[in-house]
Amino acid sequence: MSQPVLFLSRFLAIVTFVGLIGAAAPHVSAAAASITVDATTGHILARQDAEKKRQVGSLTKIATAMVVLDWASKQAGDLAQVATVPPAAFAGTTTNNLNLQPGDTLTLRDLLYAALVQSDNIAAYTLADYVGRVLPTSLGENPARAMPVDIFVQQMNALANHLGMKRTRFLNPSGIDTHEKPYSTAADIARLTIYAMNSAGFRFYVSQKEREIAIGRGPQRLRYLLRNTNQLLGTDSIDGVKTGSTERAGDCLVLSAARPSEVAQQGTTTLVTPRRLIVVELASPDRFAEGLQLLSTGWQLYDQWAAAGRPEDSRNSLSSPDVR
């Protein structure tokens, strides 16, 4: 008798899950592309044109930051090292909110804050220029002639390849797309963000609403207060991640939100299941309002999926080779 009852209970759980998903009426995104995923498993809760290649603007800086942080972690790189802003950092960018000048000096740590919190293009380029000088390269037959930023971007693309971001091509460390067209997808940016949010350092950077940094200019020591471009930070358990915007990319946004872990007791074993969602929007007409809506719908779908026992479906997973 126990086997039929067990089978029936599983059948009812599946039927209930399917019914709940159908009743949820997921929000139809106004963004050109979007995706909502469980950060622990990569399970896709909702998506719209998530595999379509698009420009992603400053969401690129997530990859920039992770190349720097991975280098610092694996090669004992010191983020207190001081980098000099090169003249080339100003090419192609029309914004200079920090009022940086060629020859200014900042620590790598403060450059990371500037790139992630206030999405500064000059800071991103300076990071790539500095770290690119110490990274290995396979560019051409004469690596001594390879430009540091090109070497750095090569590592960004190597990271993308490692993460299965098969529809992504980075061309620069900032996401500028005025003269060239780097691209990615909502699904690939979700893969990148899950990887980044597993880094305690990255999580801390993107969680800061404000941060004061120091800029060296000759004998002067200037102070600048960064303000996070992510207006939703701290709302509805949102603890990151990044904004992006160019004329080609439109307004883009990646959100991370965490709830207390689910704790369950199975005999003498305590099972702890983290609960974190990642939302990606590309080219949204109202990225912050829509981000909140996508997150709210995402938690509804997550609760239904969890109540059904978190069933696995290779067609709805970022780890599946079919989700490109």
Query: Which residues are identified as catalytic?
Result: 58, 61, 119
Token look-up 């009743």 returns 23
Residues contacting residue 15 through CB under 8 Å, at least 6 positions apart: none
Contact 196, 62 (CB under 8 A): yes
The structure tokens 């159908």 sit at 22
Round to whole Å and give the CA distance between 294 and 26: 8
Nearest alpha carbon to residue 166 among 48, 242, 279, 53: 53
Rounded to 10 degrees, the C-alpha dihedral 171/247/285/185 comes to: -20
- Is the separation of the CB atoms in 260 and 273 below 8 Å? no
In eight-state DSSP terms, residue 274 is E
Amino acid identity for residue 134 in this structure: V
Q: What is the largest CA-CA distance in the chain?
A: 84
